[in-house]
Structure 1
Amino acid sequence: MQLSPSLLLLALLHSVHGATVMAPAAQSTQFVTLDIVNGPVSPDGFTRIGVLANGTFPGPPIVATKGQTLVVKVNNKLTDNTMRRSTTINFDGVFIDADNVFNDGSPFVTQCPFGPGESYTYTLPLGEQTGTFWYHSQLSVQYSDGLRGTLVIYDPEDPLAHLYDVDDASTVLTVADWSHNSSVAGLASYISTLIIPVSDSGLFNAKGRYNGGPEVEYAAVSVAKGKRYRFRLINMSVRANFLISIDNHTMTIIEADGVATVPNEVNILTIFPGQRYSFVVNANQAVGNYWINAIIDSGNPAHNLNLNVTLSRGILRYEGAPNAEPTAPMGSGPTGAAAVPLNEYDLVPLDPIPAPEPDFRVTFDTFMPDLAPAMWEINNSSYVSPKVPTLVRVLEGDTSKFNQSENTFLFPANKTVEITILDTTDEGHPFHLHGMNFWVVKPNGTDVVNTVNPIRRDVSVTGDTNLTVRFRTDKPGPWFFHCHIFYHFAAGLGSVIGAGLDEVGKTVHPTEAWEDLCPAYNALPPSEQ
């Protein structure tokens, strides 16, 4: 059988990209199986039991191509009662159609978690979406224990392909914070002490070091002199933002959270939890080894003496260079006049879409009282998961009243909402919207409001100036909108956007498997929830 040119291109892409999915790239559906297990893991040389997809950290990379449908079967095989044994999976940044809101993976908003011995299959039509994404447990702070992995949707007709020569499995990069204690212990400590856990180490491509620990070999990224590489960087942290630079090299940003951007050359960037960037690096330096600086830029190291941010890094290794660490000092990247940082307000989408005028304007005032237990607030209310998921109530016709602690903001369908987030504590909250993108009309760090060509993305950070975003309510359903520092989220810094909830029953028809989730979960003993 002779493949058509388009199918041949897809087949070649998957040969190059090292696909980890079961179906061949020419198929319209990609099938993936994730077995969620407890097992040993030691990315920084300290061995602990984690919550792992297919027994690895990160979990297996998921690869798809524009236009396909992603079908992910998740088998819960967790056995360790010292950690959460139920789970849900969210595919960060992947658009969710309105009629598919029940596959968003948001516990107690769009589904009940599923317990040990149970399975659930997520079906995600990808449509025209492309770019860099990831998946993780959405339950409490469970992904701190290791349940996180990469997801890339390739575009055979990428309009920026002329800028790079290589874009494959070897150019997908991750940074993550890592803790030696379980997420359950970390969250309990935070709630009781108000001191957010500081990680034991920072990881680059799942490798790192901590003070006094073994000298784990740094992850090396191989390049050939003269070639241009599209690196896809994902911050899979529970709390930490990272300061990224590569000695003697610049980075040309071409994507933010799945949105192609006008090329923007920088030499240092900050990436917050949940964010993703693609950047092009030209391997045009002398053959050798160069530090990839991945410095944790948040938290107080005094709260965990294991953490040494200097030890958080990787190596850019040219073909022909020795298998050795760079001889240059371990730095933190360009500073002062030499620094050309990435500013979010400088990002311009390759396909600009003006931000529509808002029908509703809302202010989120974020605050945490200086009293234990730790509870973050939005407009004087801390988010607490309801016992009955929001979507279940909506489908049952019960949309008349939500408890204050559900932080559910109701808007009619097909309207534009503007939310301004006030960060009075200057914590730097990376706010993430499920199911769709928002327009960042006023990023942190500027007072300029841009409605003509603002960047569209799904994670943007607050700071010393207010953050203002706009989005459409043309996808009826309940959608999480929360801080992606999951310790903050678990302590109340979350909300639900109720978009056109009176329209949900007309389009949303969940599967029988989804309907069985809540009765099964409610029947579990607490040790298995």
Structure 2
Amino acid sequence: MAKGNTHGLDCLFLCFCLFGLFSVPVKAALKKYQFDIQVKNVSRLCHAKPIVTVNGMFPGPTIYAREGDRVLVNVTNYARYNMSIHWHGLKQYRNGWADGPAYITQCPIKTGKSYTYDFNITGQRGTLWWHAHIFWLRATVYGAIVILPKQGTLFPFPQPYREANILLGEWWNNDVEDVVKQGNKLGLPPNTSDAHTINGKPGPLSPCSEKHTFALEVEQGKTYLLRIINAALNDELFFAIAEHNMTVVEIDAVYTKPFTTQAILIAPGQTTNVLVQTNQAPGRYFMAARPFMDAPLSIDNKSAMAILQYKGIPNSVIPILPQIPAPDDTEFALTYNSKLRSLNSPAFPATVPLKVDRHLFYTIGLGINQCLTCLNGTRLTASLNNITFVMPRIGLLQAHYYNIKGVFTTDFPDRPPMPFNYTGAPLTANLGTTLGTRVSKIAFNSSVELILQDTNLLTVESHPFHLHGYNFFVVGSGIGNFDPKSDRAKFNLVDPPERNTVGVPTGGWAAIRFRADNPGVWFMHCHLELHTGWGLKTAFVVENGKGRDQSISPPPKDLPPC
């Protein structure tokens, strides 16, 4: 077990302890997990450089828990970077201290220091994930969270024979933080990744040999559950399996009305569970992931490949290639997303807010600002309602809880200061973009409707937005400018998909609704790491309620200081 920086390895030590809260003695239900997060040479990939890893694993280990469990995660940081871990999609009721985004709900864990994340899993089951939430370190610091249903509860779909995790990611041959710093120095986007990966391996299409290909062995005539996670930093991805259909049964740890498809679309931050029947002739079949990009930008068309291999088939058999949508297949993307519906059953109802207390309208913009320290004199920025978010030097949740003045203001506008033709002719002006740590204050238990509107400021582009601390219902989406009358009349208020990360379509809009029943400070940001770094983010300060269990819990004693 690592005690410090040894043999040039940077590492974090995590101890996961799961306390089952069902009606059995606690001692019998206790589970212990220990993990190391290390920086080491990864020989699986070409020209590998040292990377930050958990337990020396890339991707990191899977956390298995059950609905109703209490989870303790002891993190000791032995890396040369500051660190924080976000438990993506876990609601963390009244407990933002365990949410993880650096300088939002906590200050980062410094080298040589420790912090214990302590949280309950209440009312959630399915596939989520964890990842670093500081800088671009989640490029290698990530892993799956599998939350099993309560004891004795079956899935609301055919029970699978077995299941497997499929984590889609990106790989840089160089230290990703050095890549980002070089881009910032130039005032340009960092270099795109050198490969996409499936479970940490790029597959035979990369310059590496076929031994760097993930293979999933299956038996004929069985049903498998694949838990698919998009951990890529900057790419929405298509995923398909040659000659095998997939039945979508869950998104972002929420059950859906099942539908069958030849491919799925999954944005960074999102998860999708699918059933796959191994009903084809025994053989080897490629699984593939490649980027979706329908904006007028250069397309990163590097594909990752893995193999679905029937038991008993030798490796000498050439795998069959899959049919996967073209990188700019907008029609498939829109059609696929339109098929997503909440299960909305008596056991798993869709509690969509029908009456709205607070209407919000946020425009998403890109821009170019002057930069005296950049080699070309300018740098790219991003904004919501023309505001580029500036990260504070102390956690927003601490500042809110202790009423520390001067850290942030609660005057983030409910709508853009200047309406315009959002998706019309390309605009190069920033329309008065300002810098600031400005957030929006939300009354406890109020129902919120938020319209996220893409704009043609600099260029249109799709944006996956993640809201911490909540699930929300995606009640509508479309292309062009949102029309309050005609588009709101078409909202699905019966069984809309329930998510924690929504894809705003290129040159379009998405409408979400949620009930603000979780007090605290909750981050909302584009899950394209490139755009987050440019300032495409904000936060909601949800006020305490009046009830006994409607206020923020006190902070833990070992909360990292700034």
Say yes or no: TM over 0.5.
yes
TM range (shorter): 0.7 to 0.9
Tell me the distance in 1 between the aligned counterparts of 2:294 and 2:40.
28
Identify which of 530, 538, 548 aligns with 1:487: 530
- Residue in structure 2 matched with residue 343 of structure 1 by the alignment: 336
Corresponding residue number in structure 1 for 2:175: 182
Question: TM-score, length-normalised on structure 1?
Answer: 0.84
Partner of 1:11: none
Secondary structure, aligned partner of 2:518: coil
The aligned residue for residue 204 of structure 1 is 198
TM-score, length basis structure 2: 0.80
Distance 1:167 1:457 in 2: 25
Q: What CA distance in whole angstroms lies between the structure 1 residues aligned with 2:440 and 2:223?
A: 46
Q: Does 2:234 match 1:242?
A: no
Structure-2 separation of matches of 1:340 and 1:196 = 26
Superposition pairs of residues 258-407 of structure 1, within 5 angstroms: 258-298=253-293, 309-310=302-303, 312-324=304-316, 326-329=318-321, 332=324, 343-351=336-344, 352-371=350-369, 372-398=378-404, 402-403=408-409, 405-407=436-438
Distance in structure 2 (CA, Å) of the matches to 1:346 and 1:469? 17
Equivalent pair of 2:394/2:407 in contact (CA under 8 Å): no
* 1:299 CA drift (Å): 9.6
1:419 partnered with 2:450:
yes
Cα pair 1:391 1:477 within 8 Å, conserved = yes
Could you tell me which amino acid in structure 1 is paired with residue 351 of structure 2?
I
How far apart are the structure 2 equivalents of 1:131 and 1:360? 30
Residue 456 of structure 1 pairs with residue 491 of structure 2:
no
Task: Give 2:494's aligned amino acid.
Answer: V
Q: 1:114 & 1:216 partners in 2: Cα distance?
A: 36
Tell me if structure 1 keeps the 8 A contact 2:307–2:319. no
Q: Give the 3 Å change call, closer, same or farther, for CA 58–271 of structure 1 in structure 2.
A: same
The residue matched to 1:451 in structure 2 has which SS?
A: coil
Letter in 2 for 1:35: D
SS of the aligned residue for 1:376 comes to strand
Is the CA contact 1:29–1:68 (under 8 Å) kept in the aligned structure 2?
no
- Which residue identity lines up with residue 199 of structure 2 in the other structure? N
Aligned mates of 1:57, 1:163 — CA distance in 2:
31
Indicate conservation of the 8 Å contact 2:36/2:55, yes or no: yes
Q: Which whole-Å deviations, capped at 9, do the CAs of 1:390-420 have from their partners, x for residues lacking one?
A: 1111122247982462231111111011111
Q: Which has the higher helix share?
A: 1
3-state DSSP class of the match of 1:513? coil
Q: Which runs of 5+ in 2 are unaligned?
A: 1-14, 345-349, 370-377, 410-434, 481-486
The residue that corresponds to 1:91 in the other structure is 87
Q: CA deviation at 1:331?
A: 5.0
Aligned amino acid, residue 59 of structure 1:
G
Do residues 61 (structure 1) and 62 (structure 2) align?
yes
Partner of 1:511: 556
Indicate the SS of the match to 1:186: helix
Q: Is contact 1:267–1:334 with CA below 8 Å preserved after alignment?
A: no
Q: Structure 1: which 5+ runs fail to align?
A: 1-19, 80-84, 522-529
Is the Cα–Cα contact under 8 Å of residues 18 and 69 in structure 2 kept in the other structure?
no
AA matched with 1:496: A
Q: Against the structure 1 CA distance between its residues 340 and 293, is the aligned structure 2 distance closer, same or farther, given a 3 Å change threshold? A: same
| TM-fit CA distance, 1:473 | 1.3
Amino-acid identity (%): 27
On the 8 A contact 2:19/2:71 being kept in 1, the answer is: no
Higher alpha-carbon deviation: 343-352 or 248-257: 343-352
Structure-2 separation of matches of 1:333 and 1:506: 47
In the alignment, is residue 107 of structure 1 matched against residue 113 of structure 2? no
Instruction: Please tell me the residue identity of whatever aligns with 2:532.
Output: F
Moved more, 178-187 or 225-234: 178-187
The alpha-carbon distance between structure 1 residues 126 and 24, as it changes in their structure 2 partners (threshold 3 A), is: closer
Alignment map for 1:136-215 (pairs within 5 Å)? 136-144=131-139, 146-155=140-149, 156-160=151-155, 162-168=157-163, 171-191=164-184, 192-209=186-203, 212-215=207-210
One-letter code aligned to 1:453 = D
In the alignment, the residues of structure 2 paired with residue 254 and residue 321 of structure 1 have an alpha-carbon distance, to the nearest angstrom, of 29
Q: Distance in 2 between matches of 1:200 and 1:498?
A: 38
1:127 CA displacement: 1.8
Q: 2 CA distance for matches of 1:458 and 1:326?
A: 39
For the 8 Å contact 1:133–1:150, the answer to whether it is kept is yes
Compared CA separation, residues 342 and 235, structure 1 to 2 (3 A) = farther
Partners of 2:317 and 2:301 lie apart in 1 by 18
Please give the alpha-carbon distance, in whole angstroms, between the structure 1 residues aligned to 2:321 and 2:197.
Answer: 19
**3-state SS, counterpart of residue 379 of structure 2:** coil
Relative to structure 1, the CA distance from residue 322 to residue 260 in structure 2 (aligned partners, 3 Å threshold; closer, same or farther) is same
Kindly tell me: are residues 60 and 407 of structure 1, through their superposed partners in 2, closer, same or farther at Cα, counting changes over 3 Å? Answer: same
Whole-angstrom distance in 2 between the partners of 1:250 and 1:334: 18
Structure 1 residues 205 and 123, CA, compared in 2 at 3 Å: closer, same or farther? same
> 2:373: which partner in 1?
none
Partner of 2:125: 130
Give the residue type in structure 1 aligned to 2:310: Y
Native 8 Å contact 2:42 2:50 kept in 1: yes
Comparing 121-130 with 318-327, greater Cα deviation is found at 318-327
Question: How many Å separate the matches in 2 of 1:299 and 1:217?
Answer: 30
**After superposition, what is the alpha-carbon deviation per residue over 1:275-312, rounded to whole angstroms, capped at 9, x for unaligned?**
00001011111101111121223499x989xx7624x1
Q: Distance in 2 between matches of 1:167 and 1:494?
A: 39
1:481 Cα deviation from its structure 2 partner: 0.6
